[in-house]
Amino acid sequence: MTQEPASLKEMKVGERGRVLGLQAGAGSYRKKLLSMGLTPGAVFTVQRMAPMGDPVEIALRGFRLTLRKAEADALAIEPLREDAQ
């Protein structure tokens, strides 16, 4: 069963997710996001989120990355359940 890509803003602090790719409207953010390690298959954990959801801090590949709303919206992600690896 394939689920629709989710949005980073729908996740809560402490939840894990996997990058599926970039949304069609990623445009100018595409190269920037890829160079920051947000490549398909990358697993991340939501570390902190501002009260209004912008910015959001995630941990992936041994570092923390803070994304603005437009950058976060460019990601197609899949939330991971605890029993999924």
CATH number of the domain that 51 lies in? 2.30.30.90
Q: Is the pLDDT of residue 5 over 70?
A: no
Give burial (CB, 10 Å; 0-12/13-18/19+) of 31.
Answer: exposed
Instruction: Tell me whether residue 2 is in a domain.
Output: no
* pLDDT tens per residue, range 68-84: 888 888 888 999 976 54
- pLDDT value of position 1: 43
Q: Is the pLDDT of residue 2 over 70?
A: no
Structural domain for 46, as ranges: 8-80
Instruction: Tell me whether residue 25 is in a domain.
Output: yes
Q: How far apart are CA 80 and CA 52, in angstroms?
A: 23
Instruction: Tell me whether residue 85 is in a domain.
Output: no
- pLDDT value of position 26: 66
Q: Is the pLDDT of residue 57 over 80?
A: yes
Instruction: Tell me whether residue 68 is in a domain.
Output: yes
